[in-house]
Homo-oligomer: A and B are copies of this chain.
């Protein structure tokens, strides 16, 4: 959206934008003003957590995030979890401002990355298609790697709890790289840490709804909600709506799963698919959404058309 590009251009670095309560609030509200969505999601990034832990994090134009990798005990010991929540203060301030600016009827969603997904960036130092560095560390020294995961469970659960204090009414946990792990590893590094985070949150905020998104989990989406305690499950584009209905929706609300590229393409292909998703899933608990993040080249008028079709229920 042009209004986002305008704020982005004067924000300095991407992290400066995330840490500016006024600007983060403004760009969170922009799509609500333009499209009237039922919920707003905090504008931020999952890598504010490693940054707040003291790891060097940078977003380079056209290259994505670059981190000083954490790959052994010494780098792990240098992280400062006790300071992280203070450093994240501007995020809570943004949440507070957004909640104040939204209508009562518009929900505010807070979020963070799941421990495994955040760890893949912390260990790899950048995005990768196979998350090899984190997976190798986990295979070679599961004890040490589990210290990193535990640290992330603790700080991420506390971070989400504070977002609720500041005004978030729903939480989402993004496990974007869940799909890169074989089954035993999936259980250990994805399922259990997310379950631990949700259990921790429930002690503080017993009724806060939590949506978890284990992208790429494939057949392991079945049973995921029960195993983690999530109230909602974000479904990726590889799942068929009928399969989601039969295997996920009886345990949890489901969210998804339009291919973001279909929103770029638009036209009858997009409209037909929106109809198929609604037909399969709108009888049960359901949040219409994309099956992955929106891409920069999306024409804003295609989003408007999507909202119109979903509001009509077809």
Contacts and interface: CB of A to CB of B under 8 A. Distances in A.
Interface string A187-222: 000000000000000000000000000001111111
Interface string A254-268: 000101011011010
Contacts of A216: 179, 216, 218, 238
Interface in A129-146: 129, 132, 135-136, 139-140, 142
Nearest to A264: B136
Interface residues of A, number: 43
Majority DSSP secondary structure for residues of A touching B = helix
Nearest to A222: B219
A259 B135 contact: yes
Contacts of A180: 238
A71 interface: no
Given A140-B267, A182-B262, 19 more contacts: A132-B261, A135-B259, A136-B261, A136-B264, A139-B259, A139-B269, A140-B265, A179-B216, A179-B238, A182-B259, A182-B273, A183-B238, A184-B276, A217-B238, A218-B239, A219-B221, A219-B222, A219-B240, A219-B247
Interface in A112-150: 127, 129, 132, 135-136, 139-140, 142
Contacts of A15: none
A65 B127 CA distance: 19
B139 A261 contact: yes
Given A132-B295, A182-B237, A238-B181, A262 B139 contact: yes
Nearest to A141: B265
